[in-house]
Amino acid sequence: MKNDLSIYVLISFFLEDVGKVDLNCEKNNTAHKTNDISVNRLIVRRGQSFLVTFELHGPSRPTTDLLELMVETGPQPSEALGTRSVFRLPEGCGKGSSWKVKVHQGSVLLEGSITLDITSPADAPVGEYSLSVKTSATASVGSSLGKLLLLFNPWCKEDWVHLPEEEERQEYVMREQGLVYKGSDKYISSMAWNFGQFEDDIVDICLKLLDVNPKCLCDPANDFSARCNPIYVSRVVSAMINANDDRGVLMGRWDGRYDGGMSPTHWNGSVEVLRRWLKNGSNPVKYGQCWVFAAVMCTVLRCLGIPCRVVSNFQSAHDTDKNLIIDDFFSDYGVRPKQSPDSVWNYHVWVEAWMRRPDLSAGSLYDGWQVVDPTPQEKSTDVYCCGPAPVKAILQGHVDLKYDVPFVFAEVNADRVTWMVLANGSKKKISTDSVSVGQNISTKAVGSDKRVDITANYKHAEGTEKERDVYNLAVKRVNIPEENSNVIHDGKPGVSMKIVELTKPVSGKDIDLKLILNSNDSETRTLVINVNVQAMRYTGIPSSQIQTELKELKLLPNQDLTIPIHIPFSVYGEKMRESNSIKVSAVVTDKDKSEAVYITEKDLVPESPSLTIKAIGSELQYSEMTAEVVFENPLSEGLRNCFITVTGSGLLTETMEARMPLLKQGQRLRVTMPFTPYRPGPKKLVAGFNCDQFRDIKASCNVYIKPVTGVVPPLHR
């Protein structure tokens, strides 16, 4: 301690006024892995030290005054709330301060400057801080050293968002591009998404989003204090991504009418959405649906330093009455009328955020991935948000824990009851299905573009005793009345049916299928067969009728009856522009046994025509490259009002566009666009194609940009 005190006396000898300040932005930001955001402003992570250097001026007289520093965040900084901290040299002289400072070993005091090593606590509130220094006990006001941004730190073991594996930190914090899985459980497709969390204005937009949230507007002091907690922050972000009850980022729309805005399928990345929100004066961007909400939230959490990944759940239940049961209704002519607020979406997309949950368990029982869902489906404590819900709690059926575990449990594991609505308005229970909800839960693999099935993280294998035990435990924990939670398993039906594809469904081509019926009875059956084809939104809601067919046929014992189903593109094409899939359903009534009704259905997701994009050039930072996009018209008619977009974080500073009024039958369109990559590392180019006949066809390619040194970066950095 004697040596330390001699250093501080020497500091005091020189110190009266602070001269030039160097926040060592490039060095600090590189050490804190924030240099991809900027090297011109100080952005650091909590629980990790950073260096500040400043010149010392003053009379040559020794003094015993000690150096006092102060950090403050928020409009009403308070030491009690953790938004203000005063800390001093020598280390430990502060009164209970959790921020620490010491003289950096490399300081050369006799040359008139000092470098301080400053460390924030691992549970400090995230956000923008002012940093100041007082150089004498008599000074009433400190000298400003500048501003700093403090982020969560998944590299710090003491931080609640600590993620142990470096490969996962690179994927879930640092990766600027990813994949979002869409389609249906039998037709899973991926679309590339530019998260762009390191674009230089995104961190400020993320902090603005926190500042305009209703909790902050109502009680800013406590809101800024609570930003130490990733549970709180993720819940606030979940509410602020949608605009249902605040000044959120995105307005949702699912009815196919997008006047005054963009179709949700238009977006290729988060950056354009967040920038529009800021430009609009924090008014919502029109429009989003679940994958847009989730992908934008992933950008915000990764930017703030919370590990995050996008997850898609196929055959995803929306349980409005919280009974863990989804009611489906069919009419006796095959159409799915809207009788229930419950629904099963072809897919639903949310995010998982990595954090500890000491609020739920003294140990680490519920730590790890948490479901956080910004899509406005149901209210949680009077706000449209969802989560964080521990994935481990969902797996175990612990639905009495916060936040919103029953809702997410139902999304992946609700039972499904099918009802027939008869002509007189009465309902007849047809079947109970305890298997189909929650299929192929998917996320992008670490370090590659492979799809990883994580269904086993959410539930035990369907058909096992353990899965039923967990379901029944969940039913008990949400206190569902006994009569509402019975699971009925029907006997083997007298008629079995299935719909089989004859050709792969491709948008622009006719679709052919067949309905196969078989009877296990010894008698001939006279059957009334309704085959109905509807265009469906991905939320499980019919958008329009495509075609219907009614037949009366005899089914012989132990023989197959095959009925062809032909769906021309000329009939379904126009009706699919704002729809995700085609639902083909067959409702069969036995005329000889009026009580016998059989139902089968198949979801089809027509594959989009081929669009390709590739990058041409040296793949070197600051070197000009070219994006080449190619599309060929597959129709026997011209495509009108063709429109191509290309985006890519770290590659293009803004979206590039090209238009063509008419692409003739069989004509091939080739577009080249120059660009100059400005950030090194793995990147993606993402292309989109639109015209009057086809909407939002996507393609992407990977580009690995090699860094260069000694080159002056563009001005936008």
Strands (E), 185-217: 187-194
Q: What's residue 430's pLDDT?
A: 81
* 483 annotated among ligand-binding-site residues: no
Q: Is the pLDDT of residue 96 over 60?
A: no
Q: Is the pLDDT of residue 620 over 90?
A: yes
Range(s) of the chain covered by CATH 2.60.40.10: 18-151, 496-604, 611-705
Q: What's residue 596's pLDDT?
A: 80
3-state helix, strand and coil shares in percent for the chain, rounded to the nearest 5: 20, 40, 40
* Burial of 214 (C-beta count, 10 Å sphere; 0-12/13-18/19+): middle
Q: What's residue 227's pLDDT?
A: 98
CB 693 within 8 A of CB 631: no
* 413 annotated among ligand-binding-site residues: yes
- The domain defined by 611-705 folds into Immunoglobulin-like (2.60.40)
Please, what CATH class does the domain formed by 496-604 belong to?
mainly beta
Phi, psi of 188 (to 5 degrees): -85, 125
Lowest mean pLDDT among 229-233, 492-496, 651-655: 492-496
User: What is the rounded distance in angstroms from the CA atom of residue 348 to the CA atom of residue 252?
Assistant: 14
Residue 330: CB atoms within 10 A of its CB come to 23
Range(s) of the chain covered by CATH 3.90.260.10: 166-478
Q: What amino acid positions are annotated as catalytic residues?
A: 290, 348, 373
Q: How confident is the model at residue 64 (pLDDT cuts 50, 70, 90)?
A: very low
Q: How confident is the model at residue 642 (pLDDT cuts 50, 70, 90)?
A: very high
Length of the chain: 717
- 121 token code pair: 């606590």
**pLDDT tens digit sequence for 146-184:** 999 999 999 999 999 999 999 999 999 999 999 999 999
User: What is the rounded distance in angstroms from the CA atom of residue 307 to the CA atom of residue 367?
Assistant: 13
Angle, to 10 degrees, between the axis of helix 405-413 and the axis of helix 465-477?
Answer: 150
According to CATH, the superfamily of the domain at 166-478 is Transglutaminase-like (3.90.260.10)
Of 674, 640, 673, 647, nearest to 658 by C-alpha is 673
* 462 annotated among ligand-binding-site residues: yes
* 378 annotated among ligand-binding-site residues: no
CB 584 within 8 A of CB 573: no
* pTM, rounded to two decimals: 0.91
Q: Is the pLDDT of residue 713 over 80?
A: no
User: In the chain, pLDDT over 90 holds for what percent of residues?
Assistant: 73
Query: What is the residue type of 384?
Result: Y
**pLDDT tens digit sequence for 536-574:** 999 988 899 999 999 999 999 888 999 999 999 999 998
CATH number for the domain formed by residue range(s) 18-151 = 2.60.40.10
Cis peptide bond prior to 557, omega within 30° of 0: no
